[in-house]
Structure 1
Amino acid sequence: MNCADGPLSLPAYKPVLIVLHGEHSSPGRIGRLLRELGAPLDIRRPRFGDPLPETLADHAGAVFFGGPMSANDEDDWLKREIDWIAAPLKENKPYLGICLGAQLLARQLGQKVDVHPEGKVEVGYYPIHPTEHGHCLCDSPFPERVYQWHREGFDCPTGALLLAEGEDFQAQAIKVGERAFGLQFHPDVTYEMICRWTITSLDRVNHPSAQTRQRHIDGWFQHDRSIARWTVEFLRRWLGARELDDGVAPAE
Structure 2
Amino acid sequence: MFQRRRSAVALRHVAFEDLGLLAPIMEREGWNVSFCDAPVDDLSHPSIRDADLVIVLGGPIGVYETESYPFITREISLIEHRFGRDLPTLGICLGAQLMAKALGARVYAGAVKEIGWGSITLSEAGLASSLKPLAGGTPVLHWHGDTFDLPSAAVRLASNENYENQAFACGNHALALQFHLEADSRQLEEWYVGHAVELAVTKISVSQLRARTAELSNGLAREADRVFSDWLRQIGHRDASIGPAARSS
Q: Return the alpha-carbon distance in structure 1 between the equivalents of residues 167 and 25 of structure 2.
A: 20
State whether residues 66 and 100 of structure 1, in contact with CA within 8 Å, keep that contact through their aligned partners in structure 2. Answer: yes
1:99 aligns to 2:93 (yes or no): yes
TM (norm. structure 1) is 0.82
Sequence identity (%): 23
Q: Return the alpha-carbon distance in structure 2 between the equivalents of residues 192 and 225 of structure 1.
A: 12
Q: CA RMSD in A?
A: 2.3
TM (norm. structure 2) is 0.83
Partner of 1:206: 200
Q: CA deviation at 1:196?
A: 2.1
Length, aligned pairs only = 230
Q: Return the alpha-carbon distance in structure 2 between the equivalents of residues 24 and 165 of structure 1.
A: 27
Partner of 1:59: 51
Per-residue deviation, residues 190-235 of structure 1 (Å, max 9, x unmatched): 1223222223322322344x64223321222332333222222222
Q: Sort the Cα spacing of 1:240 and 1:153 in 2 relative to 1 into closer, same or farther, 3 A.
A: same
Q: CA deviation at 1:56?
A: 6.5
- Picking from 134, 138, 144, the partner of 1:141 is 134
Unpaired runs of 5+ residues, structure 1, are 1-10, 244-252
**Residue 206 of structure 2 aligns to which amino acid in structure 1?**
R
State whether residues 130 and 165 of structure 1, in contact with CA within 8 Å, keep that contact through their aligned partners in structure 2. Answer: yes
Unpaired runs of 5+ residues, structure 2, are 237-249
Q: Sort the Cα spacing of 1:219 and 1:155 in 2 relative to 1 into closer, same or farther, 3 A.
A: farther
Structure 1 runs (4+) greater than 3 angstroms displaced = 50-58
Of residues 134-143 and 62-71 in structure 1, the stretch that sits farther from structure 2 once superposed is 134-143
- Give the alignment of 1:230-241 within 5 angstroms: 230-241=223-234
Q: Return the alpha-carbon distance in structure 1 between the equivalents of residues 97 and 57 of structure 2.
A: 10
- Picking from 23, 31, 34, the partner of 1:39 is 31
Q: Sort the Cα spacing of 1:124 and 1:196 in 2 relative to 1 into closer, same or farther, 3 A.
A: same
Q: CA deviation at 1:12?
A: 4.9
Q: Sort the Cα spacing of 1:146 and 1:211 in 2 relative to 1 into closer, same or farther, 3 A.
A: farther
Q: Return the alpha-carbon distance in structure 1 between the equivalents of residues 35 and 124 of structure 2.
A: 34
Partner of 2:84: 90
- Picking from 20, 27, 34, the partner of 2:12 is 20
Q: Return the alpha-carbon distance in structure 2 between the equivalents of residues 171 and 181 of structure 1.
A: 13
Q: Return the alpha-carbon distance in structure 2 between the equivalents of residues 200 and 43 of structure 1.
A: 19
Partner of 1:246: none
Per-residue deviation, residues 103-150 of structure 1 (Å, max 9, x unmatched): 000111121111223xx2011112211111111113523453111111
State whether residues 43 and 78 of structure 2, in contact with CA within 8 Å, keep that contact through their aligned partners in structure 1. Answer: no
* Larger proportion of helix: 2
